[in-house]
């Protein structure tokens, strides 16, 4: 079983959005993925209520219940667990990291978000967890070139001795429309640029976990 925690010390970074979209890639007909919503805001729970498909399975729990919840999923033969965490709550973020195999750290290419990444990276290093920083809500590319602020954000991460994902999640209406319909963007608008970005991120996540590339939904 693989466990991914979506973590950031800053609100609005895109943890719930990425967890929802990637959970559909992790899901399989005979092996439903499990989404654990530890954020009191309940964004994942709302998305799940809007969703017509029964999977991925959603579980709401508090951080103190995480270890038991993850262990129960392991006993049930679950292959993928994705955990959404609240911002600002250091103890809850640390609890999610401790049970995770990988911490995905989404951040926008902006100064306050990058500062929050530094704190999240420090926590992951203290706990001994691998990380995958992901640039989210990025300006569109100009041809093949990333926007200047995206390149600056990458350089800032390299300066923290961290390697961000080589791609980016661009600000696109398709992401919001998909979530509002209870879908992932690969279901809502297959073949779109947005779906391609999420697919690339899924493959990067698998590689970060030492796995081969997998299927698309």
Residue 188 domain boundaries: 2-208
43-61 pLDDT tens trace: 999 999 999 999 999 999 9
Classify the phi-psi angles of 160: left when phi > 0, otherwise alpha if psi is within -120 to 50, otherwise beta: alpha
CATH number at residue 106: 3.40.50.300
Q: Is residue 156 part of a domain?
A: yes
Cβ 128 vs Cβ 97: under 8 Å: no
Q: Is residue 202 part of a domain?
A: yes
Q: Is residue 188 part of a domain?
A: yes
Cβ 162 vs Cβ 130: under 8 Å: no
2-13 pLDDT tens trace: 999 999 988 889
CA distance 203 to 65: 29
Sign of CA dihedral 89, 90, 95, 96: positive
The pTM assigned to this predicted structure is: 0.94
9-45 pLDDT tens trace: 888 899 999 999 999 999 988 889 999 999 888 899 9
Q: Is residue 215 part of a domain?
A: no
Domain count, the chain: 1
């Amino acid at each position: 079983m693989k466990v991914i925690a979506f973590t950031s010390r800053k609100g609005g970074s895109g943890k719930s959005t990425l967890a929802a979209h990637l959970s559909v890639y992790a899901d399989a007909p005979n092996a439903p993925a499990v989404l654990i919503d530890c954020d009191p805001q309940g964004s994942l729970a709302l998305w799940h209520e809007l969703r017509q498909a029964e999977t991925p399975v959603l579980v709401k729990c508090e951080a103190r219940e995480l270890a038991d919840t993850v262990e129960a999923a392991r006993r049930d033969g679950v292959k993928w667990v994705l955990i959404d965490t609240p911002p600002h709550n250091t103890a809850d973020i640390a609890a999610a990291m401790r049970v995770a195999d990988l911490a995905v750290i989404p951040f926008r290419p902006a100064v306050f978000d990058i500062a929050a990444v530094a704190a999240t990276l420090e926590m992951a290093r203290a706990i001994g967890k691998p990380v995958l920083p992901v640039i989210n809500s990025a300006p569109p590319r100009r041809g093949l070139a990333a926007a200047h602020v995206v390149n600056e954000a990458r350089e800032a991460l390299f300066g923290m001795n961290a390697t961000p994902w080589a791609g980016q999640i661009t600000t696109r209406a398709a992401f919001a429309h998909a979530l509002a319909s209870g879908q992932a963007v690969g279901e809502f608008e297959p073949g779109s640029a947005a779906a391609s970005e999420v697919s690339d991120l899924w493959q990067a996540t698998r590689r970060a976990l030492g796995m081969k590339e997998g299927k698309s939904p």
